[in-house]
Amino acid sequence: MTRVLTLAAVLASICLTAPPAQAAPVRSPFPKKAGKLAATSCPETPIVSGGVPRTREYLQTVVKCLDKSWGAYVERAGRTFRKPVVRYFEEPASTVCGMRWPAYADAFYCTERATVIFPLTGRWIENRTDLFPIKVAAHEYGHHLQSLLGIRRSYEARARADRTHADRLKRRYELQADCLSGVFLGSVWRSLARSERDWAALLDATRASGDDDDGHRTHGKGSSRAYWLKRGYGAVSPAACDTWSAPAARVA
């Protein structure tokens, strides 16, 4: 005997089995009890002093501030904090962290080895006077936080299960790191001796770092990257960085 389903029955079945359209693919684990990132002092050191590059010293100061700020937050969130390993390279190597050196990467995070890689040369840091190097360092550190808090594990599992939307998920992952870098910048802003003009210049540099023209967009358009950086900076709270439940237009 053939069972004939009415249109209403079919629609009801779909509604019962399909996941909610707005369900976040990854839950952001930023508890209210952890609060905002505490304001800390992190004065910049010169990238160049007496005509001599001081990029390593500059980055070491930034990393020390990141360790202090995020270490306190992660502990308040009830998680165990572990500093990332940090490696500095005068020039790009052929391989790093067991893989080829990523092309066009300003800096990057080796997820399996919990290691932040900083090239000490390149347009992202050499002779710069703006805040872009701090933003890049804080972004890569944001990936370390995503690993510590279980976000990366959930994201990767979802990406494996939904390869059709892997690029979209990657954008949410990367834009969350942009937002977390903004949170850090907001927490140390008063100690940077910078002006609103410097902040505007950083937003412009961030917009220019978007992958608008890339056929495989994985980091987000420049406007999206600037939006999430600004959002984190204004909130000074990781809870504001829930890119996973954001509408598609905000993670384009």
Task: Tell me the whole-structure pTM to 2 decimals.
Answer: 0.89
- Taking 80 as the threshold, does the pLDDT of residue 169 lie above it? yes
Q: What are 72's two structure tokens?
A: 């306190």
**pLDDT reported for residue 84:** 98
For residues 179 and 20, which has the higher predicted lDDT (pLDDT)? 179
Region of 96 (left: φ > 0; alpha: ψ -120 to 50; beta: rest) is: beta
- Taking 70 as the threshold, does the pLDDT of residue 23 lie above it? no
Query: Span 60-80, mean pLDDT?
Result: 96
Query: Span 59-63, mean pLDDT?
Result: 98
Cβ-Cβ contacts under 8 Å for 148 (sequence gap 6 or more):
74, 79, 80, 81, 82
- Taking 70 as the threshold, does the pLDDT of residue 117 lie above it? yes
Query: Span 159-181, mean pLDDT?
Result: 94
Whole-number Å distance between alpha carbons of 189 and 43? 9
Rounded percentage of the chain residues whose pLDDT exceeds 90: 80
